[in-house]
Chains A and B, each alone.
Chain A
Amino acid sequence: MIFEKRTERIFLAIFFLIALCIPLFMEDNSFFVGKITTILILAVFVMSLDFLVGRVGLVTLGHALFYGLGGYLFVILTPEYEAVNFWIYAFYVLGVSALIALIIGAVVLRTSGIYFIMITLAISQMGYYFFFDSLEFGGGDGLFIFIKPETSIFGLNFLNLDNPTHFYYLALLGVLITLLTIKIVLRSRFGRIIEASRLNPERTEALGYNIFAFRLISYVIGSTLAAYAGLLFALQYGYVNPQFMTWEMSGTALVMSILGGMGTIYGAILGTITYEGLQYFFEHVSEDWKLFMGGAIILMVLLLRKGLAGYLEKLLEK
C-alpha cells in the first residue's frame, strides 16, 4: 500500500468520491465546474511543490516558472490554427520542460537554504520579464490559445476539452496521476535515498550516494509536474499570461502547501481546497477580503503545528 497513513486513505477516498460526483450535480453550472477544475489544477501544482519542499527539502520560490512555462511552451510548440493531439503535445511540452528544469536545476542546486530560495526566485523572475517584455509572446497582455487540442488515443476519443465537464475529469485525472507518481517515487529506493539525504545529507553522501544527482532528478520531476499543471491551466481558458509565473504565484502555492501540512502530499490537496475555498468565501463577503484571508492564515499557522493534515492525523490516528 503506497498510502501508509489511515488519515491519508480516508481523506483520499472521500476526496475522490466527492470529486468524481461533483459534475453530476452541477451539470447546469459551468462556472462551478470550471472553478473546481482550476482548484484541481492548482492542487497538482501545489503537490509538485510539496514534493520538492517537504520531501526533497528544496524550498523554492520559483516553482511558478514551470507553471507558466507549461502554457507558453504549448503556445510556442503548436501551430496557431490547428487542433493538435493533446497527449502528443503534452509529451512535447513536458519533455522540453524537463530539459529546461535539468539545465536550471544544474545551476540552482549548487546553492542551498535561503540562497536556493533566492536563486530560484531570481530565475523565475527572469522568465517572467522575458515573457512580459517580449512582443512576440504578447507581452504583459498574454496570449490566447484559439483552438483546443483533441484528445484521441489510438483513434478513440473520450474527452472533448471544450466541454467543461470533460475538462474537469482531465484535471481530476491529473491529480490522480500526480499523486501516484509522487507516491511511487517516494516509496521506491530512489525515494528513500531522497528522504535520507533530506534528513542527513552528510551521512547519505558518506554512504556513497551522489546527493546532487538525486536532488537534480527530483527537481526535474517536480518541475515537470508543475509544467503539466500549467499546461492544463492554460488550456482550461485558452489563455496564458506572464503573471502565471510571478513569485507571488509561487508564494501562494507555498502557502497552500504549508497550510495543508508540509510534505504530506495529500495535505497539498487539502491546503489548496481550503485556501481557495476561504478566498472564495471572503471575496463574496467583503471588499476587504484580504484582511480576513491574512487573519485566517495567521490564525492557522499559530494554531496548527503541522498544517491541516497534521490536525486531521491527530484526530484520526489513535
Chain B
Amino acid sequence: MSTELFFVQLINGVQYGLLLFLIASGLTLVFGVMGILNLAHGSMYMVGAYLVWYFVALTGSFTVAAILSAVIALGLGILIERMLIQRLYNRNHLDQVLLTIGMIFVFNSLQSILWGNDPYGVAVPEALSGSVPFTDNSSYPIYRIFAAVICIAIAAALYFLVSKTRLGMLIRAGESNREMVEALGVNIKSLYTIVFAIGVMLAAISGIIAAPMSSIVPGMGESVLITCFVVVVIGGMGSIKGAFVGALLVGIISTFAAVLIPTMSNMIIYIFMILVLLVKPQGLFAK
C-alpha cells in the first residue's frame, strides 16, 4: 500500500468511524443512564432514513425533511418511552430485551406497510453536491466531509450536554444514584423520558445523515445494530467518550481490513473486540 493510499484509507476509516459514533452514541447514552439495552436502536436508524426519504420526496428540501424527521423521531422516542419502556423499569433486564425485540418486528413491518420494499435513495442536497479533487483519479465528495463535520459537532454537543449542563449533571447523577436524584426533587421519570427520546433522535439523525450516502432498504437497521454494539462494548458501555474512541477504532480497523484482507474483514472487528475485552473486561473506558 502506497503512502498516498494509506492516507486515503485513513480518511475513509475516520469518516466511517464518525458515522458509527453517531449511531452508537444514542445506544450508549440510553444504556448508561437508564441501564436499558435497546435492541431496537437500529430500527430507529432505519426510521430516520425512511422518514427523510419520504419528506424529501414530499417537500423537495433536504433541510426541511431532515428537521421534520428529527422532530418526529424525538416524538416517537417520547411515545415509546411513555407507553412501553416505562412499564418495565422494575423488571428484569431480559424483559426489556424481549420488548425491544418485539419492537424490531413491529418497526420492520410498519416500514414494509407504509413505504414498501423497494430500495430507495436520497439525492445529495444541491448545495453540498460538489466534490474536491483528491488523488490522481478520484475526488472526495463535499457531502461526506459535511457529514463528518456534523458528526464531530454532535459529539462535541453531547460532551457539552453531559459534562456542562444541568441536564447533564442530572444524567450523571441519575446513572450512579437514582434515589439521590429523586430526593433532590427531580422527576426521574421525565429525565428518563428525555434521555430515551434523545437516544432515539440520535439514531434517527444518523439515519438521516447516512441516507444520501447509502441505500434505504428493509433490514438496514439490523445491519448496523451489531457493529454499533461492538463499538459501545469496546468503548465501555455507557461511556460517550468510549463510544467515540471505539467508533474511530472500529472504523479505521475495518476499513483497512476490508482492503488488506477482504474475505476476513467481517471477523476482524469481532477479533479486535474479543482482544479488548480479554485485556479490559469492561471495555476501554469503563466506569
Contacts and interface: CB of A to CB of B under 8 A. Distances in A.
Interface of A: 53, 59, 107, 110-112, 114-115, 118-119, 121-123, 125-126, 129-130, 133, 247-248, 251, 254-255, 258-259, 262, 288, 290-291, 293-298, 301-302, 305
Count class of interface residues, chain B = 35 or more
B277 A258 contact: no
B278 interface: yes
B93 to A, nearest CB: 8
Contacts of A125: 226, 266-267, 270
6 contacts: A110-B277, A123-B274, A130-B267, A262-B94, A294-B107, A301-B88
Contacts of A290: 105-106, 108-109
B205 interface: no
A294 B98 contact: no
Contacts of A301: 88, 95, 98-99, 102
Contacts of B283: 115
B277 A291 contact: no
B30 to A, nearest CB: 13
Interface of B: 31, 37, 39, 84, 87-88, 91-92, 94-95, 97-99, 101-110, 112-113, 222, 226, 229-230, 233, 237, 263, 266-267, 270-271, 273-274, 277-278, 281-283
A22 B46 CA distance: 44
A115 B233 contact: yes
A254 B97 contact: yes
Contacts of A130: 267
B105 A294 contact: yes
Contact of B277 (A115, A126, A133): A115
Given A118-B230, A297-B105, A301-B98, 15 more contacts: A110-B281, A114-B31, A114-B37, A114-B237, A129-B266, A254-B94, A255-B101, A258-B97, A288-B109, A288-B112, A291-B109, A296-B102, A297-B98, A297-B102, A298-B106
A18 B101 CA distance: 31
Contacts of B282: 115
B106 A119 contact: no
B274 A107 contact: yes
A129 B98 contact: no
Contacts of A302: 84, 87-88, 99
Nearest to A302: B87
Contacts of A297: 98-99, 101-102, 105
A296 B99 CA distance: 10
Nearest to B99: A301
Given A112-B281, A115-B233, A133-B263, A298 B103 contact: yes
What 6 A-B pairs are tightest by C-beta distance, nearest first?
A: A294-B105, A297-B102, A291-B109, A294-B106, A122-B270, A298-B102
A305 B84 CA distance: 14
A216 to B, nearest CB: 16
A112 B282 CA distance: 9
Contact of A291 (B39, B99, B113): B113
A283 B237 CA distance: 37
Nearest to A286: B109
Contacts of B103: 294, 298
Nearest to B225: A247
Most buried by A among B108, B267, B271, B273: B267
Contacts of A298: 84, 99, 102-103, 106
A305 B103 CA distance: 18
B273 A122 contact: yes
Given A129-B266, A298-B84, A122 B105 contact: no
A122 B230 contact: yes
A49 to B, nearest CB: 11
Contacts of B37: 114
Contacts of B98: 254-255, 258-259, 297, 301
Contacts of A247: 226
A44 B173 CA distance: 44
A291 B105 contact: yes
Contacts of B233: 114-115, 118
Given A110-B278, A119-B277, A291 B106 contact: yes
Most buried by A among B101, B103, B113, B281: B101
Nearest to A294: B105
A276 B230 CA distance: 30
Given A251-B101, A293-B105, A297-B101, A288 B274 contact: no
B87 to A, nearest CB: 6
A259 B281 CA distance: 30
A258 B94 CA distance: 7
Most buried by B among A251, A290, A295: A290
A275 B29 CA distance: 32
A50 B2 CA distance: 52
B210 to A, nearest CB: 22
Nearest to A298: B102
Nearest to A53: B94
Contacts of A118: 229-230, 233, 273, 277
